[in-house]
Structure 1
Amino acid sequence: MSNRKDQDGKQAARERIRAERERQKKKDRLRRQLVVAVSVVGVLAVAGGIGFAVVKANEPTGWEAAKEAKLVTPAHTQGKNGTEILLGDKNAKETLEVFEDVRCPACAAFEQSAGKELLKDLGQGRFKVRYTMYTFIDGMSGGEGSKKALSALGAALNVGPDAFLKYKSALYSTKYHPDEREDLYAKDSELLKVAADVPELKGNKAFETAVKSGTYNRWAMEMTALFGRKGVRGTPTFMHGDKKLVLPEIPQQQITQEQYDQLAQANFRKMIDKEFGPAKNGGPGGGKGIAPGEKDPTAGK
């Protein structure tokens, strides 16, 4: 009887041990499953983080990103992507095309000497002027001053044609225009300092915000894409229709700045008179920009 009780006790003990072992196995399996699950989540999180980092690293930045930004075109523009800047009296029958790059030293020399002659003809309604602004010097000399200045010019044009013309003249002026090797116009602070000399732009918060935030950067890239239009790859260049106008050269001689300016003005007048005929006195004021719906006679060329 005692032996049977002993056997039953041993059997019960073995059952308890076996049950305990099963419970421990289940706990171990559950623990391993949790560890694996957590590890998978961790791996996925890391992989996701790496993937996100790779995507971010491959996203375009700077002016490459500007190409994909939302296009905002300045007022007083027309044509595809707002790349036609046509200014002047809408009744003027002729259109002079002017190709410039803001960093271009030759453009600065022209603007500082004969630029006022061009604006005089524009103001008197002798012809409209279509400006095609290039930025190729950024690529040649490095930097981004041409593109930044062009974007700022877009902000000025949005204020008005007069603001655009005055700001462009100021950017080219002897007071501000830097050596082309110095990328000074890449700085917002410098662009705004120049703008302070333009009454329409001084203290203009909308203009300042547009410059700082790059509102017209995408538009500047659309303008940049016009490089080579009509075969023009150098600045300044002047065209009437498909005809490239030739600006007489100033003889290489020792002269004063005043004498140089006088010769430059005379040469520009000679070129314009030869192409458009003698100037007529009077005429309506210019700078009003293209009228809504009016077609640019040079469009598509």
Structure 2
Amino acid sequence: MTTGSDFPATEQAAPATATATATGTATAPASPFAYGADDVPHVLDVYEDMRCSYCATVEHELGGTITGLADRGTYRIGYHVANFLDRGNVRGGSTNSLAALAAAAEQGVDQFMALRAALFSYRRTYGSEGLADLDVIRGVVAQTSGIDFLAVSKTINEDRFRLWALEAGPAALASLHAAWEAAGLPGPAGTPAAFLDGKAVEVLTEDGVPISPDEFEANVLAALQSDSASRSSSTR
């Protein structure tokens, strides 16, 4: 599988400068964040880091196709949001974004999806450094339609989901490494990455650009047909 060059996704080691004290409870919406009908048997696991430039580009180019297939009942999605690009900084942009996403998810899946898209849009336009500033995060929230800004802003001010984010981020990274190994992929794990029922699904070309929406849909449908054929053969 081809991933971007903001990586590899390594275990987080806190640098000497990461001395901020995390506060808040460790209670939040379940991770991975879910999108799609619960009764759909196939699952697309998507791994990303909100500071990842390639993740932001894939969301821009393929996000509508990925969620569109879920809307059609092809699969349901589990979004595993990591924070390894913070390199242990407990107040880094990835962790700030993940905590804000948890606050939005508390309001509903539509709010989570809207803020996720808005944060990636900010990342594509302005880079990732600003995400370490909570005023920037609040600004993105304020410009995201459908979200109760005051409620999310209050949650951010209270740091209510920071400890949760500091646990959920590494858990997402560990899940990525496990999925990568289980799929038998070579090289170091990285984001963005997607696995359909545990099988890797390409989202980037070898040149590091997103594949086309048509290619992604064709790859998904081919994988599902192959899986169906294998199950039929095994029952004969």
Structure whose alpha-carbon radius of gyration is higher: 1
TM-score where L is the length of structure 2: 0.73
Q: Deviations over 1:64-104 (max 9, x none)?
A: x34xx532213xx2xxxxx3322211221111000000000
Matched, 1:242 2:194: no
**Aligned twin of 2:28:** 73
Q: Which residue number in structure 1 is paired with residue 165 of structure 2?
A: 220
**Which residue does 1:204 correspond to in 2?**
149
Separation (CA, whole Å) in 2 of partners of 1:91 and 1:142: 36
Does residue 1:265 correspond to 2:213, yes or no? yes
Q: Take 1:70 and 1:142, find their aligned partners in 2: how far apart are those partners?
A: 14
Q: Is the 8 A contact 2:57 2:124 kept in 1?
A: no
Segments of structure 2 that go 5 or more residues without pairing to the other structure are: 1-17, 181-188, 227-236
Cα distance between partner residues in 1 of 2:219 and 2:91: 34
The alpha-carbon distance between structure 1 residues 194 and 140, as it changes in their structure 2 partners (threshold 3 A), is same
User: Alignment length, in residue pairs?
Assistant: 198
Distance in 2, matches of 1:247 and 1:176, equals: 17
Q: Which residue of 1 aligns with 2:81?
A: 133
How much identity, in percent, do the aligned residues show?
Answer: 22
Structure 1 runs not aligned, ≥5 long? 1-59, 78-82, 253-259, 279-301
Q: Which of the two has greater helix per residue?
A: 1
Q: 2:222 corresponds to which letter in structure 1?
A: K
Shift of 1:200: 1.8
Going from structure 1 to structure 2, the CA distance change for 1:275 and 1:167 (only over 3 Å counts) comes to same
Quote the offset at 1:223 in angstroms.
Answer: 0.9
Residue of structure 2 equivalent to 1:62 = 20
Are the equivalent residues in 2 in contact too, given 1:103–1:145 (CA < 8 A)? Answer: yes
1:191-225 residue CA offsets vs partner (Å, 9 max, x unmatched): 12212232222x53111101222111111011122
Out of 123, 131, 144, which is 1:185 matched to? 131
* TM-score of the pair, normalised by structure 1: 0.59
Q: Go from structure 1 to structure 2 and tell me whether the alpha carbon gap of 1:143 and 1:154 turns closer, same or farther (over 3 Å shift).
A: closer
How far apart, in 1, do the equivalents of 2:198 and 2:145 lie? 36
CA contact (8 A) 1:92 1:126 kept: yes
Pick aligned residue for 1:108 from 32, 53, 56: 56
Q: What RMSD, in angstroms, separates the aligned Cα atoms of the two structures?
A: 2.8
Question: How far 1:269 sits from its partner (Å)?
Answer: 1.9
